[in-house]
Structure 1
Amino acid sequence: MRVVFAGTPEVAVIALEAIVASGHELVAVVTRPDAPAGRGRKLVASPVAQYAEELGVEVLKPVKPRDPDFLARLTEIAPDCCPVVAYGGLLPQAALDIPPHGWINLHFSVLPAWRGAAPVQHSIISGDDVTGASTFRIVKALDAGPVYGVLTEPIGPKDTAGDLLTRLAASGAKLLVDTLDGIEAGVLEAREQPADGVTLAPKINVEDAELDLTAPAQRVDRLVRGCNPAPGAWTTFRGERLKVLEVELSDEDLKPGELQATKSTVTVGTGSTAIRLVVVQPQGKKPMAAADWARGIRLTPEDHLGPDASPTAQTEQAVQAEPAGGAGAESSSA
């Protein structure tokens, strides 16, 4: 079967490698345009584009998938099917209609749960015990198309979004190839998703990753793990942002935001029992062990994490923040 693969980030390369190793013919790749990266902000091709170029495969980088030139070229290529993993663009009906077997998406959840851009992160943050991956035919509605295949994956108590996505990318790549095999052989039939059980997983922004230390410890732990590696859970310390990349649950009793440090541990209070900070990243610095951070900043009894709850402090913060405008960044869903 002639396929055109659509994907952009590193996680999609694993599925692309599996397709290359399969019996299907990869005739082209669709990916997002080159984007600025690094300190120099130079334009860099996506991981999928880089891999495809190494293979000598044609790479299409439409600014928008509805561009007439892109649609014309895809029509000329005439793929039988277009497998998709984390492409990041909204496909118009004109593109969906080109391959006879459609666009088959590998999505990292058990649909209809967690439709959207960040299913792995939301499954961890919400405390799910099990997640998985699904292959489905893309339709106009978000992640609502009929499903070909499903696999499940348990979520461990220490799993981060990065850990879970790495496992799902590998098992999902096999699921995607198996789906293509079944479609080509005519033995696999897609089934409509159930109407019940639909949950949404929109992109998680930096604002969503702020820790609420008045929440129970387990909820704080889940947000930290769900936002690792990106965008990174965070709180504030002495008026600056402090990323919290890894924590451990503790049975100690401290007030929310209260800090307690020894030579080897740093503990902070939550709405229930305390948590131990394991890895943090101060603003403008690299990640470091929390104990090393605490030694370097020399904690005082007045120090705490999170915004100061006192009315005076809140008024001072509001006055200081007023000139900046306070506007938050907007996001677009993929």
Structure 2
Amino acid sequence: MNQPLKIVFAGTPITAVPALELLASDPEHFQVVAVLTRPDAPQGRGRKLTPSPVKQFAQERGIAVLESNPAEHDFPEVIRATGATCGAVVAYGRILKQPVLDALDQGWFNLHFSLLPQWRGAAPVQRAIWSGEQVSGATVFQLTRGMDEGPIVAQSTVEIGEHETSGELLDRLAHDGSHLLAAALEAVAEGRANPQPQPQGAYEVAQKITSSDAHIRFDVPAFAADRHIRACTPEPGAWCYLHEQADSEGLLLHVLRAQSAASSEHEPPQSLAAGKLMATKKAVWLGTQTEPLELLEVKAAGKKAMKAADWARGARLSDQAYCD
């Protein structure tokens, strides 16, 4: 009987936990000997130092957690001392330099949430939705010095739902991708893996989306505003300024969910200027360059998330209210 593949798992957010859980739950094929994750970070209003979801899972399962910085010169020796022969990476958030990549005999393999070589970089799921793509997927590739440029071991595809947010799609890909990663690592262990170089060419890079990027524009077609909102939900959160009167100061308003007039069960207004708000008894409409968007869920500054129609009734919006 073959020995299980000894793995160091590098990951940080909740997105990485399904893959770690799957590998740790299959002792016949894998032994996760250590976890490498980002340092504890301040969370919440109290800014209390909190371990990453991956660290929390590792501690619950009794898996060793590496606290060393991978940029330190002796880190390759720390990795070798674990007894691992292979590394698995899912949303770790740090670059592993060549001496670290060389420390494990069978290499490091990354689960990336796009169909590489398209959307290399930090925000592949968000950028795919924002760009209007209808298909996404996951890729397992061998890590090299170039960003997300290593040879591909395995890929899987999924269709992007018409109303799917980046958070919802990322959750699907995290669970589907965990099985893709496990299958790829099993092939590596058995010598069946056949990594193929990525095609050459000019491809979109998935730059990180900042809070400033998430500021919604309404002087664009409704489909573009809808993609923008879905791409930025839940992180960093699509937002705009609400003006309750024509000359009033803007108040922060997060738009958590919206839909096109064509998808609504309510009758949209015939004409609504870009950025103009209009509330009826059952719906809240926001004008764009084309047809209006129906706001479904919002979060006003200092308030809880709520249905847009309920929020509008409480806010008592005037007929001059608009967003920019």
Q: State if a TM-score over 0.5 links the two structures.
A: yes
Partner of residue 140 from structure 2, selected from 135, 139, 161: 135
244-253 or 232-241: bigger deviation: 244-253
Q: Which whole-Å deviations, capped at 9, do the CAs of 1:244-282 have from their partners, x for residues lacking one?
A: 010010154311011111111110100111001110111
Q: State the Cα deviation string for residues 116-154 of structure 1 (Å, max 9, x = none).
A: 111011110100010000000111111011100000000
Question: When the two structures are superposed, what TM-score results if normalisation uses the length of structure 1?
Answer: 0.89
The correspondence of residues 169-188 of structure 1 with structure 2, limited to 5 A, is 169-188=174-193
> Would you say the 8 A contact 1:112–1:197 is kept in 2?
no
| Matched-pair contact (CA < 8 Å) for 1:258–1:305 | yes
Code of the residue aligned with 1:246 in structure 2: it is R
Q: Percent identity?
A: 45
The answer as to 2:64 corresponding to 1:58 is yes
Report if aligned partners of 2:36, 2:67 keep a CA contact under 8 Å in 1. yes
C-alpha contact (below 8 Å) 2:33/2:83 kept by paired residues? no
Aligned to 2:259: 248
Instruction: Please say if residues 279 and 287 of structure 1, whose CA atoms lie closer than 8 Å, have aligned partners that are also in contact.
Output: yes
Q: TM-score, normalised by structure 2?
A: 0.92
Q: Secondary structure at the match of 1:293?
A: helix
Alignment equivalent of 2:36, drawn from 2, 13, 30 = 30
Query: Partner of 1:97 in structure 2?
Result: 102
Q: Which has the higher helix share?
A: 1
Contact 1:78/1:98 (CA < 8 Å) preserved in 2?
no
Partner of 1:279: 297
Give the secondary-structure state (helix, strand or coil) at the position aligned to 2:9: strand
Which residue, 209, 212, 220 being the options, matches 2:214? Answer: 209
Q: Between Structure 1 and Structure 2, how many residues are aligned?
A: 305
How big is the shift at 1:69?
4.6
Equivalence for 2:276: 258
Aligned residue runs from structure 1 range 191-210, under 5 A:
191-196=196-201, 198-210=203-215
Aligned residues of 1:5 and 1:84 also touching (Cα < 8 A): yes
1:313 aligned residue: none
1:76 aligns with 2:81: yes
CA contact (8 A) 1:60 1:70 kept: no
Q: 2:23 aligns with which of 5, 19, 26?
A: 19
Paired residues of 1:66 and 1:94 also in contact (CA < 8 A): no
Partner of 1:316: none
Determine the C-alpha separation between the residues in 1 that align with 2:57 and 2:75. 20
* Aligned CA-pair RMSD: 1.1
CA distance in 1, matches of 2:75, 2:301: 42
